Every structure is written in C-alpha cells, then in structure tokens.
Amino acid sequence: MQSTSHAFKDNAHRALGDPELQRAMGHVRSGFIDKRLDAIGKLPEFEELRDRAKAIKDHTLAHLDLYLERYEAKVTENGGKVHWCADAEEARQAVLRICRSLGAKTVTKGKSMVSEEIALNDFLQEQGIEPVETDLGEYIIQIRHEPPSHIIAPAVHVTKEQVEADFRRVHGHLPPERPLSEPTQLVSEAREVLRQRYLEADVGITGANFLIAETGSSVIVTNEGNGDLTQTLPKAHIVIASLEKVVPTLEDASSILRVLARSATGQEFSAYTTFSTGPRRRDDPDGPGEYHVILLDNGRSSMLGTEFEEMLRCIRCGACMNHCPVYHAVGGHAYGWVYPGPMGAVLTPSLIGVHEAGHLPNASTFCGRCESVCPMRIPLPKMMRHWREREFELHQSPAKARVGVELWAFFAKRPRLYRLATGLAIGLLGRLGRRRGRFSSLPLAGGWTAHRELPAPAGRSFQALWAERNQGKDRA
C-alpha cells in the first residue's frame, strides 16, 4: 500500500482531533490489557515459554536458509508449490498467474498483513478479479476503503455506529428498516452476506502465522473461522507468507502458540488454529484442489545479521501497540503504512526505508512497555534508538533538532562548562518563574508550552544538589 508515514506528524495531529477515533481507541485500552494480564496470570509457565519462544526463533533465524529449503521440500512432497518472491511485485504477479490459470473471478481472503504489505486487493481489482475480505474487521475496512489500523483488530478505530452506517450503505439489497444497532445484529448480517461469497469464490487466500519446516504446513490462527471457510471451499488455497514465519517443528509451533493468543487477545487459545499441508488428498471429500505458498522476502533477508534481526522474531500479536501510549493516542492510521505501533516503528523503516518512515521511531516516549509485554522479548526501544541514530547519521533529522543535539553535545563533552551553563540557565529560570511556579510560554520551548505549562526549576540543578548531598555525607 502507498505509505503516508512521512506525514506522521500531520496524521497524528488529525487523529488527536478526531472525536470518533478517540472514542473507538478507548476500547483498545479496556479490551486488551486486562484480558492479557488475566490470561498470563493463569499460566505459571508463561515467562519460561517466552524464553523458549525467543530461543526457537533465534535458532530458526540463524539457520533460516536450511529451514526454508526443508520447508519447500516438504510442501512439494505433499503436492503443493512454493513461489519464491523477492518483492511485492513478484508476489502480486505470482498470485495473478494462479488466479488466471483457474479463470478466477472472485477470491475470498482471510486476514493477512503481508497481503496488505503487497497491496494485493487494489492490484487484483485492477486485473478484474474481485477480492472479498472475510475477517469481519477486514471486511469493514474494505467497504470503508481504509487500511487496517491494528494488526489483529484491523477495524479497531471504527465505532459500531459507523459500521451500521457502512452496512446500510453497502448491503442495499436488505430491507432498510431492519434493526442494526447491536453488535450481534451486525455480526449476523456480515455472516449472511459473506456466506454466499465463500461459496462463489474460485480461490481462497490466507496469510500464515507459522510455516512448519518439519511437515511443510502453513498455520493460521483465527477466532471467526473465516480463514477456514476461505481455504476449504474454493478450487485453490494460496498462502501468502513472509519467509521469517518458518519454525522447525510442530512442538516449536505449539510452544509459540501458547504465548501468542495470551499476548494478543488475552485468550488462552484462539478458537481456530489450523495446520494446512498441501492440497486435498485423493480420497478427501472436500478441501482445495491446489495449494500454493507465496514466500515473500521484501527486504527481510537484508535484516538478518544486522541490529534489526531480532525484529524478525515478531509473531504479530499486537501486544506492543495494545500497550503503547502513543498508539492509544493517535491510532494506527497515523503511522501511515501496514504496521503501526512500536513493532511498526521498527519494521516499517526496514521495509520501506528510513527516508520515508523516519518519523515513526521518533514517535515513542521510550516508556518500555512494548518490550516488557513482547512475548518474543524483542528490544523494541533499543531498535527505535538504532533508527534514530541512523536518521541522524543520514542528516535527515530536522535542522533545529540537529543544532540542538550538537549544541548539547558540545557542552556535554565539557563537564565544567556544562555545569556552569546549566547552573546559570536553571538559576535564571528559577528566578523568573518563582512567583507562579510555572511558565505558560517560553522562547525556544513553544513545542512544549503550546500544550502544557512548563514547571519552573527549583533554582538549582540536580548535579548541584547531588554534589551538596554527597559532600554532606562525606562530612558525616
């Protein structure tokens, strides 16, 4: 999809002023955080499983070439085909070739962030093939012509009143006076409307949470069952997956599955975890006749062996964004591409370039909650710091920030001068602000004081107070 990550600041500004969005984002705070805590509280082995999950991915990434070869061999052995695609264009073309070979007119789709990454829907539409999203959240954003705003709850930014309006607009064949204000009515209507689409579809496309080298299986984790209808009913099942999704064995997938749902939705296990291996067998009464895997690199192989390699452990649970104060405030669309929140702030510059997405790693308070809840123990704040350093080295940061940092560095390298200068500045501010105890405007600090007051310093620097305190100790 077309990125607007470069416009993060404007996007965020608009999001903060959008009352519907702010109301919808309230559900993120209440919906995910407590449920996760509850689920992990019931599993004493959770921390041990996090360590295991991390170790599995580290081992797999260190041997990725070998596991990919094994995975492909197993897919082939089971009658499926792996399509190796270096970038988004190759992946789109591979999907198109399969659809054309089957004369496909409509394809149903389970939720796949990699399919968003390669902007598959727009492309298929241009080629005269109708893509139908079947995950309820994805369906909602498809009819709203919006990108997802969350990797596991793509329509989390939409209120139920908005969904009602969209359904009334799009489902014109249904009686206009029908009641549709309750979530259960909305869910039933989507179920009825999409049921027909499953049955008509020629090709079903899903993503994959895991690829298993041992067996050549792809794994999807869903709650609705839409992914299963999508892949079971049509003539062909196409799996779109990026290459870091591979894990060695069924046991390894099981270990990671134990941390996935708990971290994501706070469920102990998602309703449906499905392992798919090749096309239907000769005596099977149902299932797809063809099985294809679009195996996408799109920049990931060049993250291996770099300071961003650990990002490839990500299992897309969404815990980092569920716990991120910046994500809560601005929502997912502000990030401007497929992956929002802390994981997006690290991954997006890797995949589409720091020139385009350099703002994202700056949109963090470094509070560290993302790292503390990441089931794969990805050091997200550290990696955002790496991006900030890169951005600085590339002379991309705004002139003001550069001058500021360089000025600070000049003083920081000269401790006596630093103490003198900060002492003078703090003393001056302390005297100026003594009467009110705070400033509502201050030269050079407009970015701060535009939204809140700046407390006046006490008049002495921390270092000065510390030195005095320690001197006192020495005397004692």
Site for another protein in 395-434 (CB under 8 A): none
Interatomic CA distance for residues 354 and 5, integer angstroms: 10
- Binding part of the chain for another protein, among 169-177, 252-260, 354-362, 396-404 by CB under 8 A, reads 252-260
Interatomic CA distance for residues 407 and 410, integer angstroms: 5
238: which 2 tokens?
């196409």
CA angle 350, 119, 308 (to 5 degrees): 15
Binding of another protein at residue 168 (CB under 8 A)?
no
What is the smallest separation between the CB atom of 19 and another protein, expressed in angstroms? Answer: 15
Which residue lies nearer to another protein by CB, 82 or 378? Answer: 82
Q: Decide: residue 253, CB within 10 A, 0-12 exposed, 13-18 middle, 19+ buried.
A: buried
Which residue lies nearer to another protein by CB, 305 or 404? Answer: 305
Interaction residues for another protein, span 288-307 (CB under 8 A)? 295, 297, 301-306
Report in angstroms the alpha-carbon separations of 397 from 95, 394, 411.
39, 8, 20
- Binding part of the chain for another protein, among 13-21, 278-286, 333-341, 447-455 by CB under 8 A, reads 278-286
Binding of another protein at residue 22 (CB under 8 A)?
no
Per-residue contact string for residues 349-378; x = within reach of another protein by CB under 8 A: ------------------------------
What is the smallest separation between the CB atom of 60 and another protein, expressed in angstroms? Answer: 9
Report in angstroms the alpha-carbon separations of 130 from 15, 169, 188, 191, 205.
31, 19, 23, 19, 12
Interatomic CA distance for residues 332 and 23, integer angstroms: 14
Which runs of E-coded beta strand occur in 93-145? 106-109, 130-133
Interatomic CA distance for residues 48 and 65, integer angstroms: 27
What is the smallest separation between the CB atom of 322 and another protein, expressed in angstroms? Answer: 11
Residue 182 gets the label, from left (phi > 0), alpha (psi -120 to 50) or beta, of: beta
Interaction residues for another protein, span 147-166 (CB under 8 A)? 153-156, 159-160, 163
Contact pick of 37, 38, 62, 105 for another protein (by CB under 8 A)? 62
Interaction residues for another protein, span 194-233 (CB under 8 A)? 194-195, 198-199, 213-215, 217, 223-226, 228-229, 232-233
Binding of another protein at residue 114 (CB under 8 A)?
no
- Binding part of the chain for another protein, among 24-32, 96-104, 345-353, 436-444 by CB under 8 A, reads 24-32
Interatomic CA distance for residues 187 and 180, integer angstroms: 10
What is the smallest separation between the CB atom of 251 and another protein, expressed in angstroms? Answer: 5
CB within 8 Å of 365: residues ≥ 6 apart:
325, 326
- DSSP secondary structure letter of residue 86: S
Which residue lies nearer to another protein by CB, 34 or 468? Answer: 34
Which residue lies nearer to another protein by CB, 154 or 433? Answer: 154
Among 281, 208, 280, 201, smallest CA distance to 244 is for: 208
Interatomic CA distance for residues 443 and 49, integer angstroms: 52
Interaction residues for another protein, span 28-47 (CB under 8 A)? 28, 30-32, 43-45
Interaction residues for another protein, span 64-103 (CB under 8 A)? 64-70, 72, 77-78, 82-86, 90
Which residue lies nearer to another protein by CB, 4 or 159? Answer: 159
Binding of another protein at residue 275 (CB under 8 A)?
yes
Among 333, 109, 77, smallest CA distance to 239 is for: 109
Could you give the residue ranges of the DSSP H alpha helices within 120-234?
A: 120-126, 136-143, 160-170, 183-200, 226-232
Interaction residues for another protein, span 170-199 (CB under 8 A)? 183-184, 186-188, 190-191, 194-195, 198-199
Binding of another protein at residue 136 (CB under 8 A)?
yes
Interaction residues for another protein, span 230-249 (CB under 8 A)? 232-233, 243, 248-249
Which residue lies nearer to another protein by CB, 359 or 377? Answer: 377
Are 243 and 213 in contact by the 8 Å Cβ rule? The answer is no
